[in-house]
Amino acid sequence: MSEADPTLPSAPSASLRAAVAVLQVPKNMSQKTALYARLEQLPRRQRGLLRVAAALLCAVCMVLGSPDYNQWYLGFVGWVFWLAAIEGLAPKKAFWLGWMCGIFTVFFGFYWLTELLIRFADFPTWATLLVHLVFAAFQGLQWAVPAAALNWLRKRTGRDVLLLAPLVWVAGEAVLPHIFPSYLALMWCWQPLWLQVAEIGGVTTVGLVQLLINAGLYAALRDWLLQRTINRRALAVAGATLVGTPLYGAIRMAQIDAMIAESPKLKVGVVQGNFGITEWGNPRMKFQILRREQQESARLEAEGAEVLLWGETAYPFSYALPRGDGFDLPQANPRRVRRDFTIPLVFGVVTADRKVSEFAWNTARVLEADGRLGDNYDKVYPLWFGEYTPLVDPHWFKEMVPSASHINPGPGPKALRVHTGPEGQHEWRLGPLICYEDILPRFARGVAAEGIHAFVNLTNDSWFGKSKEQDQHMGLAVLRTIENRRALLRSVNAGISVYVDPAGRLLQRIDSTNPDEDGPLSAAGFVADVPMIDPDYRTLYTRTGELFNALVILGLCGIGLRGRRRP
């Protein structure tokens, strides 16, 4: 051109020179320098903002991948951003950045906790948000501790994320304490093809698969973008996991279908009472609640149900029935459990024995066809600060939070025997899980080890209104069916009630309701044809329990003790 173009600068600007410098890396640079040189040439604040943005993108993927949003495919890429955020940082800095990611994930993923505290505990908004933030900070350690451990091990051993990231994440899920378990296999809860590996080592095995894919994709992308090199090992690991996991799932689901076809079947009627906390607490409404459940039970029996299942405390008259052996109340008593139906019933009720304790038990009871009260099971894991008050005097806490309660924990897992057929010649062993016990994998494994045909879960999620909690609770419970290869029947007072088969497929469902806001609703229900799996059948996880997690932790310790590998 004869004249300078006024739209272009006559000389490179400082920002343009910086950008060019970032893009140019000398060929003789070492591998480590080549990997980080471009980022290191950016201003410190910009580097920090990029890391924060990556951590927040990871949190967004975690929240959107939860069952209510159901963007499950984000489980393939969500940790790529987490790994990018902490790449090259000292362990302490990686901890803080990972913690920020975890706090955001838990705060927005568990936002129903704030709704619960405002609605039933009468906390002011500022106190509720403070409690929620403390909860998020505690649960967020699940992202922080593995981040620090990963970078410490990388610095000590010289190994890359491809091996270490999956192992540290599994170790974190296995050993870090939870108030509400938040295993990230939850992201795939509606994708049974990807969940079948849970029978090998439990829910954390799914986390291993997710991190193998994410770490492989991250390492491949990082090396291509920063060095223009193809990381064949990373691509091989990600590709093999992406192909092998669903292939294993398809084979195992076909085998489980064959086992289901050969198993005897029991038709179970699941009743969803559709009543809320306020309605249940109103003495005048209790008779209506019971009557609606009885009517729905009669309808399900007419459809062929052989056994009925009601939810947690679905029998609304606390202390009306004996804790030990006994019978249903007389026909003339309006509190009688069985009316208009004749088949056995498993139901939830609050029981008490003042000679033993001033506090009650949250109990699942069997009402046999002849009117006899059979086996009972007491909830082993009461919900902290809702049903059980640790560390402080429960009387004081109940005065501070009137909606809270304090119940006695049960002695341990147990099978409930239910008898069907003429003179009750068929005995079925059902594994009871009350409330959130169905999201505790180790406890559910203990129940399966009692020699059961199927799981039954009695739950009351009405405390949470109609929120994300119901989907998250149910999504986590799905894993119990695959870990132990037992069907799961959930009767939840206001939903979500479901039948999930031993392959983890959700086959029947009644959505959640909010009777406290929408007014009294009729009970709903369904009849499920449930395979009664051989009580002696055991999966690898049922047999070995925490062996998989122990091997992962021992492997990490061995890698750390060995130190830096030779070039």
Q: Mean pLDDT over residues 245-268, rounded?
A: 98
- Of 471, 532, 518, 559, the C-alpha closest to 63 is 471
**Residue 2 scores a pLDDT above 50:** no
The tokens describing 525, both together, are: 């229900």
Residues 467-500: pLDDT tens digits? Answer: 888 999 999 999 999 999 999 999 999 989 999 9
Beta bridge partners of 351: 361
The tokens describing 534, both together, are: 């051989």
**Residue 430 scores a pLDDT above 90:** yes
Beta bridge partners of 459: 492
**Residue 25 scores a pLDDT above 50:** no
Read off the pLDDT band of 403 (50, 70, 90): low
Q: Mean pLDDT over residues 49-72, rounded?
A: 93
What is the pLDDT at residue 363? 96
The tokens describing 526, both together, are: 């369904």
Read off the pLDDT band of 505 (50, 70, 90): very high
Distance (Å, whole) CA 326 – CA 313: 19
What is the pLDDT at residue 44? 75
Angle subtended by helix axes 78-86 and 44-64, to nearest 10: 160
**Residue 343 scores a pLDDT above 80:** yes
Q: Mean pLDDT over residues 92-118, rounded?
A: 89
Q: Mean pLDDT over residues 305-320, rounded?
A: 95
What is the pLDDT at residue 444? 96
**Residue 60 scores a pLDDT above 50:** yes
Distance (Å, whole) CA 374 – CA 415: 12
294 Cβ contact list (under 8 Å, min separation 6)? 338, 339, 340, 341
* Percent of the chain residues topping a pLDDT of 90: 69
**Residue 32 scores a pLDDT above 50:** no
Give φ, ψ of 395 to 5 degrees.
Answer: -65, -45
Q: Mean pLDDT over residues 506-532, rounded?
A: 93
Distance (Å, whole) CA 451 – CA 430: 9
> Exposure string (b/e) for 24-35, b if CB count within 10 Å is 16 or more?
ebeeeeeeeebb
DSSP, residue by residue, 299-357: HHHHTT-SEEE--TT-S--TT-S-SSSEEPPPTT-TT-S--S--S-EEEEEEE--TTT-
Read off the pLDDT band of 29 (50, 70, 90): very low
* Percent of the chain residues topping a pLDDT of 70: 88
Read off the pLDDT band of 18 (50, 70, 90): very low
Distance (Å, whole) CA 70 – CA 406: 35
Average pLDDT of the chain is: 88
**Residue 438 scores a pLDDT above 60:** yes
Lowest mean pLDDT, pick from 109-113, 266-270, 367-371 = 109-113
Beta bridge partners of 272: 524
310 Cβ contact list (under 8 Å, min separation 6)? 271, 273, 293, 297, 345, 346, 347, 348, 458, 491
Read off the pLDDT band of 398 (50, 70, 90): low
Amino acid in position 28: N
- The tally of CA atoms less than 13 A away on the side-chain side of residue 567 is 1
What is the pLDDT at residue 19? 41
Lowest mean pLDDT, pick from 6-15, 214-223, 263-272, 348-357 = 6-15
Give φ, ψ of 99 to 5 degrees.
Answer: -65, -40
- Of 347, 285, 280, the C-alpha closest to 310 is 347
Distance (Å, whole) CA 161 – CA 514: 46
Read off the pLDDT band of 357 (50, 70, 90): confident
Is the distance from CB of 368 to CB of 428 less than 8 angstroms? no
pTM of the model: 0.88
For residues 21 and 517, the model is more confident at 517
Lowest mean pLDDT, pick from 89-98, 219-228, 448-457, 460-469 = 460-469
